[in-house]
Amino acid sequence: MGKLLNLKLRVWRQDNAEDSGRFEEYDAKGVDTDMSFLEMLDVVNEDLLEDGKEPIAFDSDCREGICGTCSMVINGTPHGGQKGTTACQLHMRQFSDGMTITIEPWRASAFPVQRDLVVNRSAFDRIQQSGGFISVRSGSVPDANATPVAKEDADLAMDAAQCIGCGACVAACKNASAMLFVAAKLSHLSLVPQGQPERERRALAMVQKMDEEGFGSCTVTGSCEAVCPKEISLDFIARMNREYGMALIRKGTV
């Protein structure tokens, strides 16, 4: 067992998308430093339930930092500010006794709140549906080793492909831009030879969809990279801009 902390929580409570929402305060007493942040919330929720109150709704699934479900702004920073760490991987030993912790949902008009800390991120799915794929049918493909991929390209593609689609980049950005997310997907697919045939179509379609969904524009403040739990690099945004520029020149209607 670790040390025990007494904390104050200020948590965003909102009944549904229409409700205007408010902060509520809770005491979290005897929090074991070995707990994860979400386990701390579990314990607070069990106490609320025992008092006949409704628990705080928040999203999580894998609790291993890989599914991208957990999504909360902790003391002003999406995922809580530990480098390369999702909220579910954050542990209470990062906090000190007596602290007040403010917990809010992602805030972006493209991610409407559904309840408390739960938001709707389906805009990300729709961006993917607009072109975030390589069009191959099941079964009609060549042998995997028929197309060699330089290790450097494969590794870089993997760096980009690690994005977990959590949306922290959007939540951190003052413009609520989704550039880092889209750049990661575009870069992943344009770095492998299999992605070449649809490269331009893809860039045009995904960027257009991103704009339609109401994400803001990028002013390269870098706040996205700073909070990204997978440490997706800003370089991919530069790559995406080049990609989009080229596609516009060759195919786009400006």
Residues pairing with 91 in the sheet: 36
Q: Comparing C-alpha atoms, which of 219, 153, 208 is closest to residue 180?
A: 219
The listed partner (ligand FES, other proteins, ligand SF4, none) that binds 32, CB under 5 to 8 Å by sort, is other proteins
Q: Is 137 in the site for other proteins (CB under 8 A)?
A: yes
The answer to whether 70 contacts ligand FES (rule: CB under 6 A) is yes
- The residues of the shown chain that bind ligand SF4, judged by CB under 6 A, are 163-169, 180-181, 184, 228-230, 232
Residue 243 in contact with residue 199, Cβ under 8 Å? yes
Shortest distance in whole angstroms from residue 250 CB to other proteins: 21
- In the complex, minimum distance from the CB of residue 209 to other proteins, in angstroms, rounded to a whole number: 10
- Tell me if residue 129 falls in helix, strand or coil: helix
Amino acid at the residue 252? G
How far apart are alpha carbons 48 and 56 in whole angstroms?
8
Both tokens of 117, joined, read 């800390």
We find the least distance from the C-beta atom of residue 231 to ligand SF4, in angstroms, to be: 8
Residues 6+ apart with CB under 8 A from 240: 179, 182, 183, 186, 187, 203, 207
User: Taking CB under 8 A as the criterion, which residues in 210-239 touch other proteins?
Assistant: none
Among residues 14, 45, 69, 233, the one that binds ligand FES under rule CB under 6 A: 69
Site string for other proteins, 152-181 (x = CB under 8 A): --xx-xx--xx-xx----------------
List contacts with ligand FES (CB under 6 A): 60-63, 65-70, 86, 88
